[in-house]
Amino acid sequence: MLTVDYERLGARRGDRVLDLGCGAGRHAFESARRGCVTVASDRDHAELRSVTAMFAAMATQADLEASSGGRGDGNSANQASDDSGSASNHAVRADATALPYPNGAFDRIIAAEVLEHIDDDEAAIAELARVLRPGGTIAVTVPAKAAERVCWALSSDYHAPAVPDGHVRIYGSDELRAKLSAAGLSVSDSHGAHGLHTPYWWLRCVVGPQDDNHWLVKAYHRLLVWDITEAPKLTRTLDRFLNLVLPKSLVLYAYKAPQFCQPTAPRPAASPEQLETSHAG
C-alpha cells in the first residue's frame, strides 16, 4: 500500500532514489520495480535485513528472466544503471540527521511517516535537502493533523513517551511547509491519503493500540485487506472522500530549485567499504 504518488514525485527509470525510514520497504520496492537505483534507509536492523533479502530476491528474479530469454517488464530490481553503468539497490542503517552521502546524491527522496518520530526534525529536513540534487524532488508524508489529534487524545499509549521511538509531534500542514521551505525546498503539490484507515486507528486507540487481537480490530483489518486486494468501487469511493475531509496521512511534494546554493560544506561520500559494513544482514 503506497502513500506516495510516483507520478507527482516524478520518479523515472535510472533515477537515484533514497527511501528514508523505509520500514518494511514498500516504497523502496516500488522504486526498484520502476527501475530506480534505490537506497532504503532505516534504523531498525530487522527491517533492513528483510528489505535486503527482498532486494536480493528481486535481483535473482531479474537474472532468471534474463537468462531464460524472458523480456519481463524492463523494470526489475537492479536493472537500472547509475552514471558509472552499475546498479545497486541496497539497504543502509543511517541517522536521518547525519546522512552518509555527499550533496546532491539523489534525484528523488521519499520520507514516508518518519519525521514525526525524529526529535530534531529540522536537522533531518536539512539533511534531506542537502542530499537532494538541485532540480530533484522529494515526497514527505506525515500523519494528518486532525486524525492524529484524535489518536493522541484517545490513548497515551499511541505515542511517545509510552511508545519507544513513537510519534513525538503532531504536524500541521503550514508547519511542515514552513520547515521544508526553510531548508530550501519549495512545495509544489499535496494531497491526503489512507482516509479509510483513519477510523481503524481511532478504533485501535479505543481498545488499546497494542491489542491486535480484539475482534473489532481484526474485523476492520480484514476490511482494509479486502479493499487493498480487491479495490471495490464502494470502499475506493469512500477512501477518496475521506482523503479530502479526514485523511490519515498528509503528503507534500517539493523540489529543490536548480539555482539553490548549498549553504553547508559537502560531506565526504561513503566509500563502498563503509556502505558494505552499514548494510543490513
Contact 47, 22 (CB under 8 A): yes
Q: Per residue in 113-153, pLDDT tens?
A: 999 999 999 999 999 999 999 999 999 999 999 999 999 99
Domains defined for the chain, CATH in brackets: 6-143+158-193+249-278 (3.40.50.150), 195-246 (no CATH)
Per-residue pLDDT at 24 exceeds 60: yes
Write down the pLDDT at residue 281.
37
* Position with higher pLDDT, 69 vs 185: 185
All three cell numbers of 10, joined, read 516524478
Contact 40, 25 (CB under 8 A): yes
Write down the pLDDT at residue 69.
62
pLDDT over 70 percentage in the chain = 85
Q: Per residue in 50-70, pLDDT tens?
A: 999 999 999 988 877 777 665
The phi and psi torsions of 60 (rounded to 5 degrees) equal -65, -40
**Spatial distance between the Cα atoms of 91 and 28, rounded to a whole number of angstroms:** 9
CA angle 245/182/189 to nearest 5° reads: 35
Write down the pLDDT at residue 78.
46
